[in-house]
Amino acid sequence: METTMELTRDNIQQVVELSKQQLVALVFWAEQMPESTALLQTMEQLCATFRGQLQLASVNCETQLELASYFQIRSLPTTLLLSQGQPVDGFAGVQSREQILAILQKHLPAAWELKLNEAKAQLQKGDANAALALLKDAYAEEDSALVALPYAEACLLTGDLATAKTLLATIKLADQDGYYNSLVSQLDLAEKAADTPEIRALQQQLDAQPEDVETLQKLATALHQAHRDEEALELLFTPLSRDLTLGNGAVKQQLLTLLSALGQGNALASQYRRKLYSLLY
**118-152 pLDDT, tens per residue?**
999 999 999 999 999 999 999 999 999 999 999 99
- Mean pLDDT for 172-193 is 94
- The residue from 80, 105, 130 where one domain ends is 105
Q: At 116, which CATH number?
A: 1.25.40.10
Sheet holding 54-60, edge to edge: 4-6, 54-60, 23-29, 78-83, 86-92
Q: What is the dihedral sign for C-alpha 186, 191, 192, 197? A: positive
Q: Are residues 205 and 151 in the same domain?
A: no
| CA pair distance 67, 36, nearest whole angstrom | 17
Confidence (pTM): 0.62
| Dihedrals phi, psi of 241, to nearest 5 degrees | -65, -20
Is the pLDDT confidence value at 1 over 70?
Answer: no
Q: What is the pLDDT of residues 77-125, one digit of tens each?
A: 999 999 999 999 999 999 999 999 999 989 998 889 989 999 999 999 9
| CA pair distance 21, 28, nearest whole angstrom | 22
Q: Are residues 131 and 184 in the same domain?
A: yes
Q: Exposure of 168 by Cβ count < 10 A (0-12 exposed, 13-18 middle, 19+ buried)?
A: buried
Total domains in the chain come to 3
- Res 254: pLDDT: 95
Query: Which residue spans within the chain are E strands per DSSP?
Result: 4-6, 23-29, 54-60, 78-83, 86-92
| CA pair distance 56, 76, nearest whole angstrom | 17
Domain range enclosing 160: 111-193
- The residue from 193, 225, 258 where one domain ends is 193
- The residue from 50, 74, 105 where one domain ends is 105
Q: Which are the contacts of 228, defined by CB distance < 8 A and separation ≥ 6?
A: 161, 162, 194, 199
